[in-house]
Structure 1
Amino acid sequence: MPPTLWIILLAAAMVGIPAILWTARSLRARIGGSVMVGLLDLVNMGYVRWWHRLKLVGFDDLPPPFRKGDVGAGIVVANHSAGIDPLVVQAGIRRFIRWMMWADMMLPVLGFVWKAARILPVSYGKKDTTTVREAIRHLKSGGLVGIFPEGAITRPPGEIRPFQAGVGLVARMSKAPVLLIHIHDTPYTPTAFGSVFHRSRTVVEVVGVFDLKDVKDPEAATARLHEALAQHCGWPVNEESILEMWRENPDEYEAPV
C-alpha cells in the first residue's frame, strides 16, 4: 500500500474514531441507557414534535427523580389513549422509561425495538408475577417504570376506565413516587398502531406526583390515582373494566394491532 494512502487512512481514523465515540456518548446521554436507546429517542423526538405537534404541559418543573440527569426510582402512570402514548410521554421525561406492555402487542418484526426499550411484557389471563418482580427490581435499582393501569386503549375515547390494582401494588412494594399524566387529543384509530400514521395535536399534561408508599392497601393507592386523574381531566368515568371485558370475551377483545 502506498505511503500516501496510509497517511490518508491514519488521518481518517484520527478524525473518525473520536467522532464515533463522541456520537455514542451523546446518544447515551440523551435519556440514559444504550446507544440504540439514544438513537431511538432522537428519532422519536423529531417524530412526535413534527408529526403529532406535541404539546407538553407541566414538564418544566418536574420534581426529582423525573428530571434529566436525576437518579432514583420513579413510576410513570398515564391514561391509555393510543398506541403512541409511550412515545409522547417519553418525549416529556428525559430519563429512560421501561414500559409495561401487553405481550400480544409486541410484533416480532419490531423485536429489536422491544429489546432496546427493555419492555416489560404483560400476559393477561396468566399469573405473570415475573414481570411484576422485574419491574420492582428495576425500580429498586433506581430506574423508571411506565404503566397504563387501564390495561388497554380506552374505546371510545374521552373517558376514564377503572385502574388495575397492580399499579398500587408496585408503588407500595417499590416505595417509589408516582408521576401521574393525562394524555389527550391523540389520533383515534381502529388499531393501536394506526395512531402512528395519523397526524394529531397531542397534548401530554402532568397531573401531579404522589407518594403512596405508606398506603398499605394497593386498591386504595390505585383509587387515589384514578380519582386524581378523573378530577383533573373532567372526563366521565366508565366503570366497565377493560381487563374484565377481555376476560369475559377474549375473542372479542383481542389486542388490536
Structure 2
Amino acid sequence: MALNFYSFAKGVVSGILKPLYRVEIIGTEHFPKEGGVLLCSNHISNLDPPIVGITAPRPIHFMAKEELFRVPILKSLLPSLHAFPVKRGMSDRQALRTGLEVLKQGNVLGIFPEGTRSRDGKLKKGLSGVGFFALRTDAQVVPCAIIGPYRPLKRLKVVYGSPIPMDELRERKASPEEATDYIMNHIQALLDEHR
C-alpha cells in the first residue's frame, strides 16, 4: 500500500514540478538498480526532497527533520512517503539505526549531508553522520547535485554521479568525518562540472 501511494504521489508531484522548473535529469544510468544505496545531495531549497524523489529511478527513504512530523497533515503523510524523523545534528541514535536498517534491507537512503539549506547555494561542510552510514554498511554511495535556481520556467538540473569508491576508506577504518569530506568533494565536483 505504501509503495502504491509513493508511486501515486511521485506521479502527481512530477506532473507539477517537472514542467514548472523545466527539470533536466542527468546521470540516472549511474544509479545502481538494486542493493543498498546511500544517496547524498547538496541542499538549496525545501523542494529538494521532492525533486530528488521524482528524478531518482528508485524509491527513496529520506531522513526528515523531526519538526516536520509535528505538523498534523505531514505526520501521517511522511511515513507513507518512506520518510523518518531525525533530530537536528545527526546524533539521533534511533534515526541512525533506522537509516542503517534501510540500507541493510537493500533500499535507498536519501540524505542532505549539510543538514540544512545553503542560503547562498555554495556547498557547506557535511555532517559526520553521512560518513557513518557510508562506512558502517556496504551500500553504494551515489553523489547528487541540484543546480538551481528554483524559478518557474528556468532550467533546474539534477545530476547523479557514478557510485563513489569507498573500499579503501572502509578497509583502513577511516573516520566518519574523513568519509563525509570525501563524499562532499564528489558532490562539489558534480556542481563544478555541470554549472
TM bracket (short chain): 0.7 to 0.9
Q: 1:148 to 1:126 in 2, by over 3 A?
A: closer
Residue aligning to 2:62: 99
Residue 163 of structure 2 corresponds to residue 209 of structure 1: yes
Q: Deviations over 1:156-182 (max 9, x none)?
A: 22x110001110101111210111011
Residue 192 of structure 2 corresponds to residue 229 of structure 1: no
Q: In structure 2, which of residues 30, 40, 46 is the aligned counterpart of residue 62 of structure 1?
A: 30
Q: 1:148 to 1:125 in 2, by over 3 A?
A: closer
Q: How far did 1:76 drift? A: 0.6
Q: How far did 1:186 drift? A: 3.6
Q: How far did 1:208 drift? A: 2.6
Residue aligning to 2:93: 129
Q: Is the 8 A contact 1:99 1:147 kept in 2?
A: yes
- Pair member with larger Rg: 1
Q: Is the 8 A contact 1:149 1:167 kept in 2?
A: yes
Q: In structure 1, which of residues 205, 209, 220 is the aligned counterpart of residue 178 of structure 2?
A: 220
Q: Which runs of 4+ in 1 moved over 6 A?
A: none
Q: Is the 8 A contact 1:181 1:208 kept in 2?
A: no
Residue 115 of structure 2 corresponds to residue 151 of structure 1: yes
Q: Deviations over 1:195-245 (max 9, x none)?
A: xxx66421101233113254122112111111222233239xxxxxxxxxx
Q: Is the 8 A contact 1:51 1:199 kept in 2?
A: yes
Structure with the larger RCO, 1 or 2 (CA within 8 Å, 6+ apart): 2
Q: Which structure 1 segments of 5+ residues have no match?
A: 1-27, 65-69, 189-197, 236-257
Q: Distance in 1 between matches of 2:107 and 2:27?
A: 21
Residue aligning to 2:130: 167
Q: How far did 1:104 drift? A: 1.8
Residue aligning to 1:191: none
Q: How far did 1:88 drift? A: 1.5
Residue aligning to 2:80: 116
Q: 1:109 to 1:186 in 2, by over 3 A?
A: farther
Residue correspondences, number: 188
Q: Aligned letter for 1:234?
A: D
Q: Which structure 2 segments of 5+ residues have no match?
A: none
Q: Which moved more, 1:44-53 or 1:102-111?
A: 102-111
Q: Distance in 2 between matches of 1:45 and 1:54?
A: 10
TM-score normalized by structure 1?
Answer: 0.67
Q: Aligned letter for 2:51?
A: V
Identity %: 24
Question: What's the C-alpha RMSD, in Å, of the aligned pairs?
Answer: 2.1
Q: Distance in 2 between matches of 1:100 and 1:199?
A: 29
Q: Distance in 1 between matches of 2:90 and 2:26?
A: 37
Q: Is the 8 A contact 2:63 2:111 kept in 1?
A: yes
